[in-house]
Amino acid sequence: MRILSWAYLIALFTFILLPVGVLVVFSFQDGRLPVPPFKGATLEWYASVLADRALMEALLNSMIVALISAAVSLTLGFLAASGLARVVLPGSVLMRGVLIAPMTVSYLIVALGLLQMFGKIGVRPSLLATGIGHVVINLPLCFAIIYASIGEHQKNALKAARDLGAREWQVLWLVAAPMLLPSLAAAYFLAFTFSWDEFIIAFLLTRFDVTLPVEIWSMLRSGLSPETNAVGSLVFLVSIVIVVALELLLFRKGAK
Amino acid sequence: MTIERREKRQGAALVAPALLWTLVFFAVPFAGMAIMSLAHLEGREIVQGFDLGNYLRIFTDPSFRRGIFVSLEITLTVTVISVLLAWPLAWIIATRVPERWRRMALLIAVLPFWTSYVVRSYSWALVLGEKGVVNNALIGLGLLSEPIQIMATRAATVTGFVHFFVMLLTLTIYSNLIQLSPNYARAAMDLGASRWQVIRLVILPLTLPGVMTGAFLTFVLCIGDYITPQILGGNNELSLPQLIMMQLGRRGDYPMASALSVVLMAIVTLAYAASARWLKMERL
């Protein structure tokens, strides 16, 4: 049983890590094709990625869209969660249902709906349109995470603050936000990641200014290339650095 | 004005922005799409009508009907394989790996999450291609004389999907497993159950809600995904999302794309209805 367990673990880890390993190794390929045999190491492809104007612009665009759309999702989700956790409104259940609904729908359908509506009212495909789409998919997520973290204890604290004469914005900003900080951070981080990596909405709702996944997609049309490997490896590296940094900052703090 | 009424008004004011956003940018476009699905194309003009012609075509035209079956087959295959692979992995990490390595093992198990989704599919193309790692290794070992075609087949699509969803399911099942008290297993052992019986009769049923939630998530994400079948599966057989994108690209047939989307949505809703009693969405 023990040996079987370890064998299984190793087999599955190999399966899981294989494509990423191949991706990274052949990003150093000294040759035009990122497939075996490995012909020696070069940093040429990384240099050409960093010098690629279109890629760097797409990276910046992705960063802007992700930062802003995650902030909007978080704000709307936070307000809605504290509103619904505060009083039982007529139709509370329905409202929760409406807010969560986009989570169960494919991104493709969200994108198609927005594409048609924007086309009708004359909003051009743009980063703004993409950002709006990203808020649609991330708002339910932020709402659900924050709403789930408001328990009886939190509700009582908020009520106490209000009874003691705090204004509504003070209750939210000085009591609710600090108290819910870990789940706010988690929600923002998740929303940022999903927006950063989202393809189909950005693909349909951008035209000239594209985001990184869309730019990578258009690189794929020219077939396998070590340059695509290099982009992928860089994205991977940056994400790992962010994850480790967050783990050290948030997790260690939480553990104390 | 009573305090209670003021409270309610303020609560409603807080919910309003999010609700408005969801209505304007989600509910309205979706309704627009449902209406669009009842229109049809004459030449390049979209003629709004109220006929079910598009839906009739979806269920009679072999290429559309095939698309629905392809999507369902791929999605069900992926969901079943992913659950079967992920459960033992999650169980081994939760019970066999020493505690101080557990976090590390879990981190490794989901490491490829952190590269972009598009790139992950692309890297499977590197592995499975004609000159890729798998063919190279098999030929090197003398198991093959000629490279076999894996790319642009359903096997490639399924592999790419399973890779992603094994990671996802390992996470959901693991979080389910470590919440179980070890006393369940101990009690069963004391009562004479063998180790295998403990897993099959005690642990497995207790993780069923987590498994079902993860499986439902897998189903929804898998059936709606365009990237993986497009990069790995090629154009030999088209899934539903590929068919939708094709309507948009070739002729700008928005009515048909909308009708297909409504069908996709209906399939997901049916899947939800079928599994709703096992789902605990709030535990995600």
E strand or H helix that includes residue A98:
helix A92-100
A83 and B28: CB-CB below 8 Å? no
Select the residue of B10, B11, B123 nearest A19 (Cβ to Cβ): B123
Residue B281 pLDDT more than 60?
no
Cα–Cα distances in Å, from A175 out to A145, A180, A246? 18, 9, 23
Q: Judging by beta carbons within 10 Å of its beta carbon (0-12, 13-18, 19+), is residue B2 exposed, middle or buried?
A: exposed
Residue A255 pLDDT more than 50?
no
Residue carrying structure tokens 């000239």: A208
| Cα A105 from Cα A103, distance rounded (Å) | 6
Tell me the CATH number at A139. 1.10.3720.10
| Torsion sign, CA atoms A156, A158, A160, A162 | negative
A19 and B127: CB-CB below 8 Å? yes
Cα nearest neighbour of B10 on chain A = A83
Select the residue of A5, A35, A89 nearest B92 (Cβ to Cβ): A5
Mutate to test the interface with A, among B123, B196, B270, B280 (most CBs of A within 10 A): B123
Cα pseudo-dihedral A28, A33, A37, A38, rounded to 10: -10
Q: Are A203 and A96 in the same domain?
A: yes
pLDDT score for B283: 45
**Could you tell me which residues come within 8 angstroms of residue A169 by beta carbon, excluding any fewer than 6 positions away?**
none
Q: Are A110 and A12 in the same domain?
A: no
> Hey, is the C-beta of B101 within 8 angstroms of any chain A C-beta?
no
Count of all residues that appear for chain A in the document: 256
B119 and A231: CB-CB below 8 Å? yes
Overall fold of domain B37-283: MetI-like fold (1.10.3720)
What's the mean per-residue pLDDT of chain B? 89
Residue A3 pLDDT more than 60?
yes
Token digits of residue A240: 């790992």
> Hey, is the C-beta of B29 within 8 angstroms of any chain A C-beta?
yes
Boundaries of domain holding A8: 1-42+230-256
| Cα A101 from Cα A224, distance rounded (Å) | 38
Count of all residues that appear for chain B in the document: 284
Residue A256 pLDDT more than 50?
no
Q: Are A73 and A154 in the same domain?
A: yes
Q: Are A108 and A133 in the same domain?
A: yes
Closest by CA to A131, choosing from A61, A212, A76, A213, is A61
Q: Are A60 and A14 in the same domain?
A: no
Q: Are A79 and A195 in the same domain?
A: yes
pLDDT digits (tens, 9 = 90+) for B24-71: 999 999 999 999 999 998 887 888 888 899 999 999 999 999 999 999
DSSP assignment of B176-238 = HHHHS-HHHHHHHHHTT--HHHIIIIIIHHHTHHHHHHHHHHHHHHHHT--HHIIIIITTSS-
| Cα A151 from Cα A220, distance rounded (Å) | 47
Tell me the mean pLDDT in the region B201-228: 90
Tell me the mean pLDDT in the region A231-256: 76
Tell me the mean pLDDT in the region A73-88: 90
Helix (H, G, I), strand (E, B) or coil at B41: strand
What part of B 212-231 touches A (C-beta under 8 Å)?
220, 223-227, 231
pLDDT score for A253: 52
Residue carrying structure tokens 């991706």: A23
Residue B284 pLDDT more than 50?
no
- Distance of residue B15 Cα from the nearest chain A Cα, in angstroms: 4
pLDDT score for B136: 87
pLDDT score for B251: 77
B163 and A15: CB-CB below 8 Å? yes
Select the residue of B19, B33, B88 nearest A116 (Cβ to Cβ): B33
Q: Are A76 and A145 in the same domain?
A: yes
> Hey, is the C-beta of B48 within 8 angstroms of any chain A C-beta?
no
Select the residue of B116, B131, B226 nearest A108 (Cβ to Cβ): B226
A5 and B12: CB-CB below 8 Å? no
What part of A 42-61 touches B (C-beta under 8 Å)?
none
Residue carrying structure tokens 């209000």: A162
What's the mean per-residue pLDDT of chain A? 89
Residue A254 pLDDT more than 70?
no
| Cα B266 from Cα B264, distance rounded (Å) | 5
Tell me the mean pLDDT in the region B194-218: 87
Query: Could you tell me the residue ranges of all domains in chain B?
Result: 37-283
Q: Are A205 and A82 in the same domain?
A: yes
Cite the DSSP H helix spans in chain B: 3-22, 28-36, 53-60, 62-95, 99-109, 117-128, 133-140, 154-179, 182-190, 195-197, 204-206, 208-223, 227-228, 240-250, 254-275
B29 and A116: CB-CB below 8 Å? yes
Residue B214 phi/psi, 5° resolution? -65, -40
If one counts every other C-beta atom within 10 angstroms of the C-beta of residue A37, the result is 9
pLDDT digits (tens, 9 = 90+) for A191-231: 999 999 999 999 999 988 999 999 999 999 888 889 999 99
> Hey, is the C-beta of A174 within 8 angstroms of any chain B C-beta?
no
pLDDT score for A252: 61
Fill in the DSSP letter of residue A170.
Answer: H
> Hey, is the C-beta of B254 within 8 angstroms of any chain A C-beta?
yes
pLDDT digits (tens, 9 = 90+) for A137-179: 999 999 999 998 888 888 888 888 988 988 888 888 999 999 9
pLDDT digits (tens, 9 = 90+) for B98-154: 988 898 899 889 888 888 899 999 999 999 988 888 888 888 888 888 888 888 899
Domain count, chain A: 2
Residue B12 pLDDT more than 90?
no
Whether A103 and B268 have beta carbons less than 8 Å apart is answered as: no
Q: Which residues of A touch B35 (CB under 8 A)?
A: none
Q: Which residues of B touch A220 (CB under 8 A)?
A: 118, 122, 231
Tell me the mean pLDDT in the region A8-24: 94
| Cα A186 from Cα A172, distance rounded (Å) | 18
| Cα B86 from Cα B102, distance rounded (Å) | 16
What's the first-to-final CA gap in chain A, in angstroms? 37
**Percent of chain B residues topping a pLDDT of 90:** 51
E strand or H helix that includes residue B42:
strand B40-42
Helix-strand-coil percent breakdown of chain A, rounded to 5? Answer: 80, 0, 20
Cα nearest neighbour of A130 on chain B = B25
pLDDT score for B225: 95
pLDDT score for A251: 63
